Amino acid sequence: MSKEVLLEVKDMHVHYGAIHAIHGINLKVHKGEIVTILGSNGAGKTTSLHTISGLLSPSKGEILYRGNRIDGVKANKIVGLGVAHSPEGRMVFPDLTVKENLEMGAYLRRDTEKIKSDYEYMYNLFPKLKERSTQLAGTLSGGEQQMLAIARAYMSAPDLLLLDEPSLGIAPILVQAIFDAIVDLNKHGMTILLVEQNAYASLKIADRGYVLATGEIFMEGPASELITNEEIQKAYLGH
């Protein structure tokens, strides 16, 4: 693939105190791709995303964004560089309204006009959010909160969107809507790194995938190959 590499993780190790959570992983995300990281609970998926977005620091290795090292840069600076992270568990601000949550997403931005059109895009993508724009985020259903978390991350006008378990704990009827929205965002040019337990749904929309187990990548490849891989089917697709 000759496309520009947006994100490159090189031999990244992460420690939680004495626990060695990530054992030197390598991954690449090209501009315009949807890349998914699969793996069971505790495999290190969330830890990897936290380290990329700066909430954690790697104990070894490099993280390059557009060729520049961002490991060790604080999370509140990395957003400004163009990497937005919609965290696991949604983490929307319950005491702020839906609209205010989106404003927080655009916290570092000053381009008022572009912000306005981004609100419109998000409200079109998630009409529920428009209906509930003056409601406190804490009163939304889990699925609506997930939509808000994604929209809020988008509001920072990123080039790379990190999505952590967007289908986790959500009514099944809304899961499809969320995945449709991810595809829509990607069609509008957004590059997406998607962490999921729902392997089938994410491989269906992804270009490439990495499979993480106990802090190491044990398989990687085009999504279309992974989805038919026997080992993956046994372990993650329930066949």
Partner 1 sequence: MSEDTMYFFWDLGQYLLNGLTQGSIYALIALGYTMVYGIIKLINFAHGEFYMIGGFIGYYCIMGGMPLYMAFPVAMLGSGVIAVIVEKIVYRPIRSAGRIPALITALGTSLFFQYTGQLIIGADSKAFPTAIEQKMWFFGEIMISNIQVIILVTTFILMIFLWWLVNRTRIGKAMKATSYNHDAAELMGIDTNKIISFTFFVGASMAGAAGVLVGMYYSTVEPMMGLIPGLKAFIAAVLGGIGIIPGAVIGGLTLGVAENLVVGFWESTYRDGIAFLILILILLVKPAGILGKNRKEKV
Residues that bind partner 1 (CB under 8 A): 50, 53-55, 74-77, 79-80, 84-85, 87, 89, 91-96, 100, 103-105, 107-108, 138, 140-142, 145, 152-153, 156, 169-171
Query: Quick count: other Cβ atoms within 10 Å of Cβ 170?
Result: 21
195/166 Cα distance (integer angstroms): 8
Closer residue to partner 1 in complex, CB, 53/202: 53
Least CB distance from residue 156 to partner 1, whole Å? Answer: 7
Neighbour count for residue 231 (Cβ, 10 Å): 11
Q: Which is nearer to partner 1, 36 or 86 (CB)?
A: 86
User: What φ, ψ does residue 212 adopt, rounded to 5°?
Assistant: -110, 135
Q: How far is the CB of 13 from partner 1 (least distance, A)?
A: 21
- Measured from the CB atom, is 155 or 232 closer to partner 1? 155
Distance in Å from the first CA to the final CA of the chain: 31
Closer residue to partner 1 (CB): 85 or 208:
85
Choice between 87 and 209, CB closer to partner 1: 87
Q: What residue type is assigned to position 179 of the chain?
A: F
Q: How far is the CB of 134 from partner 1 (least distance, A)?
A: 13
From residue 205, alpha-carbon distances to 9, 40, 69, 76, 185 in Å are 22, 19, 29, 30, 12
**Residue 169: CB minimum distance to partner 1, A:** 5
Smallest gap, in angstroms, from Cβ of residue 70 to partner 1?
Answer: 14
d(CA 17, CA 59): 10
